[in-house]
Structure 1
Amino acid sequence: MDTRRLYSFVKIVDAGSITRAADILHIAQPALSQQLSALEAQFKQQLLIRSKRGVAPTEAGRALYRHAQLILRQIDLAHAAVDISGRAPAGSVSVGLAPYSMGAALALPLLRSVRERYPDILLHINENFGGVISEAIMTGRMDMAFIYGAGPLRGVQFEPLRTEDLFLIAAPGGSVPSGDGDVSLEELAGVPLLLPSRIHTIRQVVDAAFQHASLEPRVVGEIESVLTLISAVGADVGATVLPWSAARATLDVQNLVVRRIVNPTITVKLSLCTSDHQPLSEPAHAVHDLFHELITEFGEDVAFGDAAMESSKASD
């Protein structure tokens, strides 16, 4: 297959017009139309629907478009691997981190480690919801991600790395149940909660726990912004529910009430996700290995700061 035809086809679909694509590619329109005709002859399928407004892919065209993107990305990776052979890893690596997760604690150490060990790697960090990140990995727009969940999901490979308990986080003296130590789900039912929307894993597992116990959470606000959540919890607008690692990385936990939720314990799984149909580039492999190193280093502290919290309570 002539990969130039695939590249031209992708540009035509992106531009929505053969004329515009010809201008972008600096190719005469008849020559571009010939390439398209050759592709349609090769696949024995109509790939585009032509109209006065431009072109749109047929079902077969959409299938070819997805595969063409992956093929062209693999070619780019092959060129990059050959170019940097024998040298330190170099190139662009995109990493996704789920909000309200251990990713908040890993972002800065990961960025610092990449800068120190692999100065020729340009690290792109994207904090977004798991569904958005998973789609980016499937389509080849992102190399890896540290997100909630353990799959299965078509096109994505999940590598479970951590299971964390959820905690009630609230301003002291607010509307949280009195007492120290753990807090039961039944006690939590009356607490005004600030949670992410229902597409977020934390919200889903909290809702599921309440539903299983025939209880209803008192959600007073849905917040997707970490900065807004920090301000709202500190101002006692409501409490929130987070893993210890995320709470410690984003909130001033020393001056907040932090109580493990029990009866039942609510847990979330965190996984490192990569594509299951295209290999990682050399620089992406290097970043992948750094991820593992950092998670191991965070191990005891991230699992739960029991000792630190007990010490804090004793001093109070």
Structure 2
Amino acid sequence: MELRHLRYFVAVAAERNFTRAAEKLGIGQPPLSQQIKSLERELGVELFVRTPQGAALTQAGEAFLVEARRVLDDATRAAQAAQRAARGESGQIRIGFTGSAAFNPLVPTLIQRYTQRFPAVQLTLDEANTPILVQGLAEGRHDAVFFRPGRTTLTELDGIAVQRLPDEPMKIVLPSAHPLAARRRLPLAALANEPFVLVPGPAGITLNEEIVRACAEAGFSPRLAQPAPQIASVVNLVAAGLGVSIVPAAIAQVQVKGVRYLDVTGVRMSAKLSLGWREGDTSATLRQFVALAQHAGRD
């Protein structure tokens, strides 16, 4: 028994006439009659009583019609489900992001656009540092990650495709009581003798690279006075008077009492942001997410 047999049967049942049903199906009336007879032989029952006016359902036909319609409806829903999945409109996607990336307005905006366009996709979000995110991609725990690319991570990116997103400027953050806090902008060299609050080691490795590079260009090496567990904690520790720091400009939206954000002059520095995913990943949900990110990156 094939789905077409059920469609033929339902068409005849709806029209109560083989000729009209054949016209509606776009086939000849004799082949339609033969298909119905073949179905009746397979079932071992009569589904129709042939009449001069056409055909009437038997009791067996009435019972079969209920189930035939259900099977056809299920088949239609199955086909639609497969088509939605192929278009990336259903399924799941696991997105990772660094703590500092979460403050970049592009990241929440992109996630919001994706969930609005694909509400049936189950979206899972996970915050971690760049090395863990890159490892999560390689091990299949994440489908795509927003991370801070740097020279130390480039060697770890085998098999990972990368979409560069717009760079973000960086700002100096000072305690509001600091003698230089009244300034709107400041050369980085003015911080040469200041204690720094930074996220040490792998947890902040990319931003640290950029900060150390820019400080070296300004003629000094930053002195770590207070480590911070994550980028969002840096501002609070600066507010507590434990040192100064340099953060991505988007962090300035964290309005903590007791800090001032200043523009950097004298050296070029930026916080880089990228979206990474496994090369060759054929997931349709991922394809749609990457397409949105690529479009956003051109805006």
**Does 2:216 correspond to 1:211?**
yes
Letter of the 2:248 counterpart: P
The runs of 5 or more residues in structure 1 that have no matched partner are 1-80, 300-316
- SS state at 1:241 partner: strand
Flag the 1:119–1:274 CA change in 2: closer, same or farther, 3 A: same
For 1:223 and 1:103, the matched residues in 2 are separated by 17
Task: Look up the match of 1:169.
Answer: 173
Flag the 1:103–1:283 CA change in 2: closer, same or farther, 3 A: farther
Instruction: With the length of structure 2 as denominator, give the TM-score of the two structures.
Output: 0.61
Flag the 1:84–1:103 CA change in 2: closer, same or farther, 3 A: farther
**Does 2:250 correspond to 1:252?**
no
**Does 2:226 correspond to 1:221?**
yes
Deviations 1:10-46 (A, max 9, x none): xxxxxxxxxxxxxxxxxxxxxxxxxxxxxxxxxxxxx
Letter of the 1:252 counterpart: Q
For 1:235 and 1:254, the matched residues in 2 are separated by 10
Residue 97 of structure 1 contacts residue 104 of structure 1 at CA under 8 Å; is this kept in 2?
A: no
For 1:104 and 1:165, the matched residues in 2 are separated by 11
Residue 164 of structure 1 contacts residue 243 of structure 1 at CA under 8 Å; is this kept in 2?
A: yes
Task: Look up the match of 2:288.
Answer: 286
Aligned residues: 214
Question: Which residue of 79, 83, 86 maps to 1:85?
Answer: 83
5 Å matches for 1:173-192? 173-174=177-178, 177-192=180-195
For 2:257 and 2:109, the matched residues in 1 are separated by 22
Superposed CA RMSD: 3.1
The runs of 5 or more residues in structure 2 that have no matched partner are 1-78
Flag the 1:294–1:253 CA change in 2: closer, same or farther, 3 A: farther
Instruction: With the length of structure 1 as denominator, give the TM-score of the two structures.
Output: 0.58
What's the CA shift for 1:280? 4.1
Residue 174 of structure 2 contacts residue 260 of structure 2 at CA under 8 Å; is this kept in 1?
A: yes
For 1:291 and 1:103, the matched residues in 2 are separated by 16
For 1:231 and 1:138, the matched residues in 2 are separated by 34
Deviations 1:168-221 (A, max 9, x none): 01231226x255232112101223321111322111221223334441213221
Letter of the 2:143 counterpart: D
- SS state at 1:84 partner: helix
5 Å matches for 1:46-57? none
Residue 160 of structure 1 contacts residue 271 of structure 1 at CA under 8 Å; is this kept in 2?
A: yes
Task: Look up the match of 1:64.
Answer: none
Higher Cα Rg, which structure: 2
For 1:165 and 1:291, the matched residues in 2 are separated by 20
